[in-house]
């Protein structure tokens, strides 16, 4: 379906799906283990391309603020412990918001996912959703690879500004918890998420639950693997080149 131009013409003005599939709307998924720099990369790419930066945990948190049902309260408890949201709960939140963005942008532009899909279930559902709306050729996933020891070391040394989560620094003689942010706005803190115990929980969640989803995307040949053990600029350059969106 869709490859026959006559079929397209014959369907007259009712070829909504056909038009969308030829449209320019793109989906970029940025995924990687905790501390791989995926959030920073997603932000840079979304800014560069003018796409919506879709931070699933933030969309989840926004939803939690406006809903008080027992299911949503359970999700909040999971999140605080470093566990993943329930796949079907977060998928519904992601789906609702994604469709809203797609409709607002009337099919042009795109979304950079930062944090979705976190599970095989979510990967399948998200892929299915976007394949239907824009076609598989417009879906790309980027997997940022970083060795586990390196991630552990990054977590141990990470200090984050309490005014901007993107002001991230490594601990040094000059920079310690409580030091002013070198960007001049806040104070540097250790994050709970980087504590050793929570780091291991997040790492296990990544290996046991997120990786199978990335393997699924790989089977669909939608994945690009990037070496994340390089500078932010170098990683960013490699991602943009691999995506061929320039």
In the list 11, 106, 183, 208, the residue contacting Zn ion (rule: CB under 5 A) is 183
- Under rule CB under 5 A, residue 226 binds Zn ion: no
Nearer residue to Zn ion within complex by CB, 147 or 183:
183
Q: List residues bridging with 146 in a β-sheet.
A: none
DSSP state of 12: G
What is the side-by-side order of every strand in the sheet holding 110-114? 52-55, 110-114, 26-31, 139-145, 223-227
- Under rule CB under 5 A, residue 168 binds Zn ion: no
5-36 as b/e, with b when 16 or more CB fall inside 10 Å? Answer: eeebeeeeeebeebebbebebbbbbbbbbbbb
Nearer residue to Zn ion within complex by CB, 162 or 215:
162
Return the range that interacts with Zn ion (CB under 5 A); candidates 44-52, 164-172, 199-207, 217-225: 164-172
- Under rule CB under 5 A, residue 181 binds Zn ion: yes
Nearer residue to Zn ion within complex by CB, 9 or 232:
232
Return the range that interacts with Zn ion (CB under 5 A); candidates 28-36, 46-54, 181-189, 229-237: 181-189
Return the range that interacts with Zn ion (CB under 5 A); candidates 56-64, 156-164, 202-210, 216-224: 156-164
- Under rule CB under 5 A, residue 178 binds Zn ion: no
How many residues bind Zn ion, per CB under 5 A? 8
Percentages helix, strand, coil for the chain (3-state, rounded to 5) are 55, 15, 30
CA separation for the pair 146, 232 (Å, rounded): 13
Nearer residue to Zn ion within complex by CB, 126 or 188:
188
CA separation for the pair 141, 243 (Å, rounded): 9
Site for Zn ion, rule CB under 5 A? 161, 163-164, 167, 181, 183, 185-186
């Amino acid at each position: 379906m869709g490859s026959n131009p006559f079929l397209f013409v014959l369907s007259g003005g009712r070829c909504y799906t056909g038009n969308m599939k030829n449209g320019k709307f793109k989906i970029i998924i940025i995924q990687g283990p905790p501390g791989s720099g995926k959030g920073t990369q997603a932000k840079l790419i979304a800014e560069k391309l003018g796409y919506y930066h879709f931070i699933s945990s933030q969309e989840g948190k926004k939803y939690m603020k406006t809903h008080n049902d027992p299911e949503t309260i359970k999700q909040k408890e999971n999140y605080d412990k470093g566990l993943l949201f329930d796949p079907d709960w977060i998928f519904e939140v992601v789906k609702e918001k994604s469709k809203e963005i797609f409709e607002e942008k009337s099919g042009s532009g795109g979304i950079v996912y930062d944090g979705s899909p976190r599970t095989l279930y979510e990967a399948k559902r998200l892929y299915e959703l976007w394949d239907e709306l824009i076609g598989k050729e417009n879906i790309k996933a980027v997997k940022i690879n970083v060795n586990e020891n390196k991630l552990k070391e990054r977590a141990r040394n990470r200090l984050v500004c309490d005014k901007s989560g993107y002001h991230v620094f490594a601990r040094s003689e000059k920079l310690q918890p409580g030091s002013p942010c070198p960007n001049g706005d806040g104070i540097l803190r250790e994050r709970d998420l980087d504590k050793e115990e929570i780091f291991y929980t997040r790492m296990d969640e990544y290996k046991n639950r997120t990786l199978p989803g990335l393997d699924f995307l790989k089977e669909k040949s939608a994945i690009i693997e990037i070496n994340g053990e390089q500078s932010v600029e170098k990683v960013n350059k490699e991602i943009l080149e691999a995506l061929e969106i320039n």
